[in-house]
Amino acid sequence: MSETRTITLAGGCFWGTEKLFSLVRGVTNTQVGYANGPAEGPVTYEQVCAGSGHAEAVRVDYDPQVVSLATLVDLFFDTIDPFAVNRQGNDRGVQYRSGIYVQDQGDLAEVAALVAALEQRLGASPVATEVAPLRNFHPAEDHHQDYLDKNPLGYCHLGPAAFAKAKAI
């Protein structure tokens, strides 16, 4: 097995995004939390909802020998509106912005190229999805982890087709 890589994705409510990526073959772990806000140290859901500046996000650990960064980013873009500013679906606010946060410069360059290709393919720009180095990630409270596994009828902004696509990867 190769070395595990990590990408952090903010795509609206983190419950559905976590479930989606947990279904992808090659993803070894997911964890919901709060990313790229100004505060260090523990951050709570209440603080994020009150405007802390963090994004609801999912840390995705994956085996690059099984699934590529490009495949994960493509799936992510298939499940969000990359042109929406501070919202996804019914979820509105800076905490629901879309973002792709990486831990090394090589990944940053690859993601930037994927965004440019998306803009060219769609004939529209600029994509509102924030692409940046991961500055910080604070794990969310336990009751948010694996939320849709614990609450199968819980709120989710993603539909069945998205989950079917993730399972097929």
Q: Please tell me whether residue 7 adopts helix, strand or coil conformation.
A: strand
pLDDT of residue 53: 94
Q: Which CATH class is domain 5-168?
A: alpha beta
Q: How sure is the predictor about 1, in pLDDT bands with cuts at 50, 70 and 90?
A: low
* Spans of all domains in the chain: 5-168
More confident residue, 155 or 63: 63
Angle between helices 160-168 and 69-78 in degrees, nearest 10: 170
**Active-site residue list:** 13
Hunting for tokens 């890589």 — which residue is that?
Answer: 5
Kindly report, residue by residue over 18-43, the tens digit of the pLDDT: 999 999 999 999 999 999 999 777 89
Kindly tell me if the per-residue pLDDT of 157 is higher than 90: no
pLDDT on residue 122: 86
- Mean pLDDT of all residues in 44-68: 96
pTM: 0.94
